[in-house]
């Protein structure tokens, strides 16, 4: 039956190609849309994901890593007493204005890290080193924000909220969900730029002892500092992502576009399968006349739909890989999780199989008598 289905399918290459375009279109659209969405939304938890901390501790109502509320810095000592905590350091996040050479200014997000451990500091450095922030007025900017910040270069001096800042290192690809560029510096200097009291901080970044139960350590932290909240890295990353998901309707708009793509692909596949069958009614009539069962006829359609889904998915994923390779940038990262690829293939397969019902309905009504009348 496979041979019968395959050969009759490839006999009409024009229609097969049309159907494949439909499947490929669906796969590419779902994966690229999904990949862009994942890439974009994952930026919301970028500091958390890359911060090298196992636990993030902050204000009881902490809900987004970029919008931190102040907590007393001195509580870091309580956290350090919790069993399982190897290291706990204060971390500061806040907004400031950077002056630009043209006379304008750009709002930036200052990130202040502990000057000894540099925990939660910049990564992916292309010029300079993470320790360079220890230099006088040292700050780290990201190359990808170059245009927005009017092309800063190593050694350039800028002002952050009226205070001097000197670019001592450059990173690549540290771009958050917000349009504000990140600026990394020491905790103390960040407090000056933001205008915080020295005793205020945004978070405590905690690294646990090897083998420690992170959930248990979080519980211990809540116990010694009841006015603080403690989340594991994954938890807080998800919370930061959920913040944008639930408050912006981003998921709905991306999801709607993706569904639309699926719908278009489904219609293309169904229409093509139907056209293929209409073109071959005589052949299906012949099969019925010589004794093919309804099940056998439907299995031919199912096999053809399966082949279209399989080949289309493979080609589509190949194109997605190419798009990802050539067009994914830190500004618009295309992150396609394997689950998304697999899910889209399964979905397209299901759509193709369902689409085959339409031509099947037509064949069911087909009277094999037509073979003798034509």
Partner 1 sequence: MTVDRATDAPRAEDSAVWAEGVHKAYRAGATVTPVLCGVDLAVRRGECVFLAGPSGSGKTTLLSILGCILSADRGRVRVADEELAGLDEPRRAALRRHRIGFVFQRFHLIRGLSVLDNVRVPLVLRAAPPDAARRRALDLLDAVGLADMARSHPRNLSAGQCQRVAIARALVADPPVILADEPTASLDAVSGQETMELFHRLTAQDGKTAVVVTHDPRIFRYADRVFHLDGGRIVRTEQQPSDALACTAGV
- Residue 7 is a binding residue for partner 1 (CB under 8 A): yes
For partner 1, give the closer residue by CB, 105 or 274. Answer: 274
For partner 1, give the closer residue by CB, 292 or 305. Answer: 292
For partner 1, give the closer residue by CB, 348 or 371. Answer: 371
- Residue 8 is a binding residue for partner 1 (CB under 8 A): yes
In whole angstroms, give the CA distance from residue 152 to residue 156: 6
Chain centroid to CA 63? 19
Cα dist from 76 to 191, 192, 227, 340, whole Å: 17, 20, 13, 40
CB under 8 Å to 137, separation ≥6 — which residues? 157, 164, 165, 166, 189
Binding partner 1 by CB under 8 A: which of 100, 130, 250, 289?
289
Of the ranges 9-17, 230-238, 244-252, 352-360, which one interacts with partner 1 (CB under 8 A)?
9-17
What are the DSSP calls for 80-124, one per residue? HTSTTEEEEEEEEEEEEEEE-TTS-EEEEEEEEE-TTT-TT---S
In whole angstroms, give the CA distance from residue 254 to residue 176: 19
What is residue 209's DSSP assignment?
P
For partner 1, give the closer residue by CB, 1 or 260. Answer: 1
Of the ranges 109-117, 170-178, 287-295, 342-350, which one interacts with partner 1 (CB under 8 A)?
287-295
Binding partner 1 by CB under 8 A: which of 11, 219, 252, 346?
11
Min CB(22)–partner 1 separation in Å = 20
Give Dmax over CA atoms of the chain in angstroms. 95
Q: How many residues does the chain have?
A: 374
For partner 1, give the closer residue by CB, 247 or 295. Answer: 295
Cα dist from 33 to 211, 261, 290, whole Å: 38, 9, 48
CB under 8 Å to 295, separation ≥6 — which residues? none
Binding partner 1 by CB under 8 A: which of 26, 75, 288, 317?
288
- Residue 287 is a binding residue for partner 1 (CB under 8 A): yes
Return the residues of window 257-286 that contact partner 1 according to CB under 8 A: 282-283, 285-286
Binding partner 1 by CB under 8 A: which of 183, 277, 292, 345?
292
For partner 1, give the closer residue by CB, 265 or 359. Answer: 359
Radius of gyration of the chain (CA): 29
Min CB(269)–partner 1 separation in Å = 19
Min CB(7)–partner 1 separation in Å = 5
Return the residues of window 351-370 that contact partner 1 according to CB under 8 A: 368-369
Return the residues of window 30-89 that contact partner 1 according to CB under 8 A: none
SS3 90: strand
368 C-beta neighbours (distance < 10 Å), count: 15
Binding partner 1 by CB under 8 A: which of 290, 325, 326, 365?
290
Point out which residues bind partner 1 (CB under 8 A): 1, 3-4, 7-12, 282-283, 285-294, 296, 368-369, 371-374
């Amino acid at each position: 039956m496979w041979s019968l289905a395959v050969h009759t399918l490839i006999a009409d290459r024009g229609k097969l190609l049309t159907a494949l375009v439909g499947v490929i279109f669906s796969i590419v659209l779902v994966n690229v849309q999904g990949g862009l969405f994942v890439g974009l939304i994952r930026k919301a938890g970028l500091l958390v994901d890359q911060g090298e901390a196992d636990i993030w501790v902050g204000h009881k109502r902490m809900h987004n890593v970029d919008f931190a509320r102040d907590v007393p810095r001195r509580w870091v000592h309580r956290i350090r007493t919790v069993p399982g905590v190897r290291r706990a350091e204060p971390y500061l996040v806040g907004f400031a204005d950077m002056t630009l050479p043209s006379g304008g200014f750009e709002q930036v997000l200052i990130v202040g890290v502990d000057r000894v451990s540099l925990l939660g500091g910049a990564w992916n450095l292309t010029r300079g080193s993470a320790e360079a922030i220890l230099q006088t007025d040292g700050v780290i900017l990201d190359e990808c924000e170059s245009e927005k910040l009017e092309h800063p270069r190593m050694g350039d001096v800028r002002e952050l909220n009226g205070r001097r800042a000197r670019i001592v290192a450059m990173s690549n690809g540290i771009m958050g969900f917000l349009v504000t560029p990140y600026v990394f510096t020491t905790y103390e200097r960040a407090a000056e730029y933001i205008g915080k009291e020295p005793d205020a901080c945004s978070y405590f970044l905690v690294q646990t002892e090897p083998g420690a139960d992170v959930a248990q350590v979080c519980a211990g932290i809540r116990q010694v500092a009841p006015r603080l909240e403690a989340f594991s890295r994954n938890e807080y990353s998800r919370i930061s992502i959920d913040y944008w998901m639930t408050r912006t309707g981003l998921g709905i708009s991306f999801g709607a576009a993706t569904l639309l793509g699926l719908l278009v692909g489904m219609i293309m596949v169904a229409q093509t399968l139907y056209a293929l069958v209409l073109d071959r009614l005589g052949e299906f009539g012949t099969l019925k006349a010589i004794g093919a069962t309804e099940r056998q006829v439907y299995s031919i359609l199912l096999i053809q739909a399966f082949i279209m889904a399989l080949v289309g998915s493979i080609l589509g994923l190949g194109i997605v890989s190419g798009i990802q390779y050539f067009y994914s940038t830190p500004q618009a990262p295309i992150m396609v999780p394997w689950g998304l690829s697999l899910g889209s293939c399964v979905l397209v397969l299901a759509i193709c199989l369902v689409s085959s019902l339409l031509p099947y309905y037509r064949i069911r009504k087909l009277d094999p008598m037509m073979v003798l009348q034509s």
